[in-house]
Structure 1
Amino acid sequence: MNGPYLALILGLGSRAWTDHTIIDTALTEVWHDARQDGYSGIEVMEGTAPGADTMCGDWAKARFDHGIGHLPVEADWEGPCADSCPPGHRRTRRDNTEYCPLAGHRRNQNMVDRQPLIALAFQVGQSTGTADCLRRLAKAGVPTRRWAA
């Protein structure tokens, strides 16, 4: 569904975010604004984490028939580390599977590098993943609207 007429919107936030109404209102407003600016719709990009990310994705999927796209961008937790990862930093879960603790940061940079028109951030407390993405968005100059709970 991605095309030149869809505005790319990044929805991100804390795993502890629970307020569906705020997300619904924020995405609906951005959708209407994009339509007013000449876009045929929006594509909601999100990082697939539970909480705010998933809620943004669910909002988009429920409105597919209205010209809204969905772009999930997953972190490759179990995959190989990047060349920039420090040696020996991989961690082991309780089920003995290893993962790269920096995979979420790489996913965040991947989303920022796609140059969304705007980012909508829904943060509870000092969520580290959300804070990391917000720093990357600010550095890239991506306009960001924030809500806190």
Structure 2
Amino acid sequence: MNGPYLALVLGLGSRAWTDRTVIDTALTEVWHDARQNGYSGIEVMEGTAPGADRLCGEWAKARFEHGVGHLPVEADWEGPCADTCPPGHRRARRDNTEYCPLAGHRRNQNMVDRQPLSALAFQVGESTGTADCLRRLAAAGIPTRRWAA
């Protein structure tokens, strides 16, 4: 596959999203549209979280031979905080390790900064991570289709 000829599409959503059929249908439609518009396929970027993100990644990996790339973008939960993080905001897990609760927001901005051609959002309830990414996509003017469960 030739990366520059793939349309970058962001698949995102709630950890509670379980409807694989909706994701399969949405990504298949986007792949088909991209092919009709002269791309050799799509590259599905996703944030590696359980639920919608992971289902989008699984769809992409299963279709590699059909012109589909996969770009997982992980949040660095255990890594150092950004200069903009407030002092003392790190949280402890049950195993006594600490993490930065803003790492998901930084990952979301990283994905938006890659300027995907479009985004597909699969949201259950008031998922805060999904809502954060949707705000960032809107601010960047990236076309986004939404499904709710």
Could you state the TM-score of these two structures normalised by the residue count of structure 2? 0.99
Deviations 1:44-96 (A, max 9, x none): 00000000000000000000011100000000000000000000000000100
* Structure 2 residue ranges without an equivalent (≥5): none
Say what the alpha-carbon RMSD is for the aligned residues.
0.7
CA distance in 2, matches of 1:132, 1:51: 16
Distance (Å, rounded) in 1 between the aligned partners of 2:2 and 2:134: 24
> What one-letter code is carried by the residue in structure 2 that aligns with 1:9?
V
1:25 corresponds to which residue?
25
Which residue of the partner structure matches residue 64 of structure 1?
64
Normalized against structure 1, the TM-score is what? 0.99
The SS at the match of 1:4 is: helix
Q: Secondary structure at the match of 1:115?
A: coil
Could you list the runs of 4 or more consecutive aligned residues of structure 1 that deviate by over 2 angstroms after TM superposition? none
2:41 corresponds to 1:38:
no
CA distance in 1, matches of 2:2, 2:105: 24
Identity %: 90
Count of paired positions:
149
Aligned to 1:122: 122
Matched residue, 1:106: 106
Aligned to 1:50: 50
Q: CA deviation at 1:3?
A: 1.4
Q: Which runs of 5+ in 1 are unaligned?
A: none
Aligned to 2:55, what secondary structure does the other structure show? helix
